[in-house]
A = this chain, B = another copy of it.
Amino acid sequence: MRDTRRWHREAGISGVLEIAGRARRAAFALATTATAVKDAALAAMAAALDARADEILEGNGVDLERARAEGTPAALIDRLTLTPARIAEMANGLRHVVTLPDPVGETLASWTVPSGLAIEKVRVPLGVVGIIYEARPNVTVDAAGLCLKSGNACVLRGSRSAISSNAVLADILDEAGTLAGLPPDSVQLIRSTDRESVKELMRAHGLVDVLIPRGGADLIRTVVEESTVPVIETGVGNCHVYVDSAADLGKATAILVNSKTQRPSVCNAAETLLVHRALADRFLPGAIEELTRRGVELRGDEAARSYSAAMKPATEDDWYAEYLDLIMAVKVVGSVEEAVEHVNRYGSRHTEAIVTEDEAAARLFAAGVDSACVMVNASTRFADGGEFGFGAEIGISNQKLHARGPMALPELTSYKYIVHGTGQVRG
């Protein structure tokens, strides 16, 4: 285990602001690093992950041992566990990023103004991207790959529970990347796991250009409240399926069941079902049966509960809840407008689906809900960078500033104006 515990020596030596300062210098160089160099580095990183799988497993073993000793729940242990197959998957993820187009350098617009100035709007990297994330060590590799391809230096801050795994992974990425020609410090992991180090990262305004928290609602809230660095909020999904009066019943049931049960633990799974009153008699009994049969616990308003003796009453908290589990809130509404109002009041601005054969209702719903993605006659589970054809995803943004919905390489960039004159001055 050559280097697995190098972080022990390094922790404490260099503060977070020093790391961020080094990242900023790396970012200046990365901004003009050629695509071919970035791609070669990503390929070298992938090869290094494969070649050093044993070290990675050894580092992961340290985390797993500690997690078991601390009585960590099985689901979290599973998310923390790396296997040869999962390591190969991470390496292949990097190889896939190589195949994606480099967004940097694209001319987004160009025009000439009456003063004779020729203005170019050119896509540039954001600079230094900070990622704060929870247990899954694959984020270390995925996030680094996407940041590097888009010309950004990254500062990674994973959780304490995955620190040994993340440290090995970051060392491998850093060494392979630097050998392949990337600026030093293009990928850095913060190895101190105390709260102070997260705070320092959140206050590194001027050194870090954006912070992307990836994790649960509590993590996101903390970052939003404490960060002076601009934040992109991601991944809190209280998604709704609205079954309109003009819904096709077969589509409605299929979309509802898929949205709720295909993978209940992810942010684009549905949490609340809204049903138009006119359709409730025909739709709800069958829908309740389908969901219940798949183990979904339902919590409804009075009208919904009239279709099921077993349904618990929904409280105000249920309408706000992101269960991430086999639980669903159910409400009967009188109109598209009432559905829209409910979504905008309780939702998390992530993804909503409407099932309807009425185009006017679909338009009203799509325009009315204040969410990143609106699915018309499709499962909420399609709100995903891969399904959208982006080839990758760094997260799903819940906010309206900068990027909304699935974020891929272009969302990790900004732009600058380059203006060519011939000596113009303002009169």
Residues of A within 8 A of B (CB): 28, 31-32, 111, 113-115, 117, 119, 124, 126-127, 205, 209-210, 224-225, 228, 230-232, 248, 250-251, 254-255, 257-259, 262, 344, 362, 366-368, 370-379, 381-383, 387-389, 399-402, 404-406, 414-426
Contact among B111, B262, B370, B423 with A378 in the assembled complex (CB-CB below 8 Å): B423
**Max chain B CB contacts within 10 Å: which of A375, A378, A418?**
A378
Q: Is the CB of B382 within 8 A of A419?
A: yes
By a CB distance below 8 angstroms, the chain B residues around A425 are: 254-255, 257-259, 262, 378-379, 381
Q: Is the CB of A344 within 8 A of B28?
A: yes
Least CB distance from A153 to B in Å reads 12
Q: Is the CB of A404 within 8 A of B414?
A: yes
Least CB distance from A125 to B in Å reads 9
Contact among B117, B126, B362, B379 with A426 in the assembled complex (CB-CB below 8 Å): B379
Number of copies: 2
Tell me the bound Cα distance from A375 to B209 in angstroms. Answer: 23
Q: Which 9 pairs between the two chains have the least Cβ-Cβ distance?
A: A378-B421, A258-B425, A400-B414, A251-B423, A402-B402, A381-B426, A230-B401, A378-B424, A377-B421
Given contacts A251-B422, A381-B425, 11 further A-B contacts (CB under 8 A): A28-B368, A31-B370, A115-B387, A224-B228, A225-B228, A251-B423, A258-B425, A262-B425, A381-B426, A402-B402, A404-B416
Q: Is the CB of B423 within 8 A of A367?
A: no
Q: List 25 A-B contacts (CB under 8 A).
A: A31-B370, A111-B389, A113-B388, A117-B387, A124-B400, A127-B370, A209-B399, A210-B400, A224-B228, A225-B228, A232-B401, A248-B423, A259-B425, A262-B425, A372-B416, A375-B419, A377-B420, A377-B422, A378-B423, A379-B421, A379-B426, A382-B419, A382-B421, A402-B402, A404-B416
Tell me the bound Cα distance from A257 to B111 in angstroms. Answer: 26
**Max chain B CB contacts within 10 Å: which of A210, A224, A372, A421?**
A421
Tell me the bound Cα distance from A18 to B51 in angstroms. Answer: 59
